[in-house]
């Protein structure tokens, strides 16, 4: 797992891992990187007579330690069939999202939803404070109705309703804000390359950018509630 597309390209192509590997080798590339680079690597692997899956994960270091990661895989049926039993040893779910690059596509689409809903939930909880509505009451109502979402139900960004959420641990990650920002920027990059307009995704990327540039990068991503609240 490497930080960005350029590092993966460096290792695979320029540093020679691909050319040094034997024919038929299966590459399981678990970095979260941009879709275009992932697809270019698939092509390079295929031309070299090898197989590849792009297989970014969700679940964080805790999920890795507990072998409960989710793998989102892009690649041929054949490559997926080979990679699946290996990754199942580290994960609770290994999902075939389609052809080359679709693991990355699934991850950034999912995390764009996540970033948008997290800020929306933070805003609703802060508005509730303003209106004199208890966090727990809003939690009880929304987690069971149309406001239900993972960001609220299982990762609630205020202390109390979900004891295990980072809000109860002074917003120690968990999933750091700078990692969320990275994923939101990948989504924006893909949207712009594909002539897709994503106004809420763009707003979420900008708000996490303000939060990270203001010093919140290593805070859990739910800690953006402090910026929304003003403290």
Stretch in the footprint of its own copies (CB under 8 A) among 19-27, 42-50, 82-90, 143-151: 143-151
Least Cβ distance, residue 50 to its own copies (angstroms): 22
Q: Is 189 in the site for its own copies (CB under 8 A)?
A: yes
Kind plus residue range of the DSSP H or E element containing 190 = helix 177-193
Measure the CA–CA gap between 208 and 119, rounded to whole angstroms.
9
Active-site residue among 107, 137, 144, 172? 107
Measure the CA–CA gap between 50 and 22, rounded to whole angstroms.
8
SS3 186: helix
The CB density around residue 43, as the number of other CB atoms within 10 Å, is: 13
Stretch in the footprint of its own copies (CB under 8 A) among 45-53, 81-89, 113-121, 165-173: 113-121
Least Cβ distance, residue 147 to its own copies (angstroms): 4
Residues 15-44 that bind its own copies (CB under 8 A): 35
Instruction: Please name which of 96, 8, 88, 7 lies closest in space to residue 45, comparing C-alpha atoms.
Output: 8
Tokens standing for 77?
């049926």
- Nearer Cβ to its own copies (47/146): 146
In the annotation, is 172 catalytic? no
- Nearer Cβ to its own copies (50/112): 112
Q: Is 112 in the site for its own copies (CB under 8 A)?
A: yes
Least Cβ distance, residue 1 to its own copies (angstroms): 18
Instruction: Report the residue from 191, 219, 220, 222 that binds its own copies according to the rule CB under 8 A.
Output: 191
- Nearer Cβ to its own copies (101/173): 101
8 Å CB contact between 118 and 151:
yes
- The dihedral formed by the CA atoms of 81, 190, 210 and 60, expressed in degrees to the nearest 10: 0
Least Cβ distance, residue 21 to its own copies (angstroms): 27
Instruction: Report the residue from 32, 111, 219, 222 that binds its own copies according to the rule CB under 8 A.
Output: 111
Name every residue whose Cβ is closer than 8 Å to that of residue 182 and which is 6 or more positions away in sequence.
32
Residues noted as catalytic: 107
């Amino acid at each position: 797992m490497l930080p960005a597309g350029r590092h993966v390209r460096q290792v695979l192509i320029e540093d020679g891992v691909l050319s040094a590997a034997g024919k038929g080798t299966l590459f399981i590339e678990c970095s979260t990187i941009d879709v275009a680079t992932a697809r270019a690597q698939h092509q390079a692997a295929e031309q070299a007579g090898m197989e590849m899956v792009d297989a970014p994960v969700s679940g964080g270091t805790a999920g890795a330690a507990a072998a409960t990661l989710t793998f989102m895989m892009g690649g041929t049926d054949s490559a997926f069939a080979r990679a699946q039993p290996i990754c199942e040893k580290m994960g609770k779910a290994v999902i075939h999202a389609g052809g080359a690059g679709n693991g990355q596509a699934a991850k950034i689409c999912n995390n764009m939803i996540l970033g948008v809903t997290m800020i929306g939930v933070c805003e609703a909880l802060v508005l509730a404070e303003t209106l004199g509505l208890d966090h727990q009451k809003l939690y009880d109502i929304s987690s069971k109705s149309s406001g239900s979402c993972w960001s609220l139900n299982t990762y609630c960004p205020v202390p109390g309703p979900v004891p295990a959420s980072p809000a109860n641990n002074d917003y120690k990650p968990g999933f750091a804000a700078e990692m969320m920002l990275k994923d939101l920027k990948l989504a924006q990059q893909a949207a712009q390359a594909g002539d897709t307009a994503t106004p809420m995704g763009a707003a979420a990327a900008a708000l996490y950018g303000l939060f990270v540039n203001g010093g919140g990068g290593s805070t859990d991503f739910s800690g953006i509630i402090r910026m929304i609240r003003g403290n």
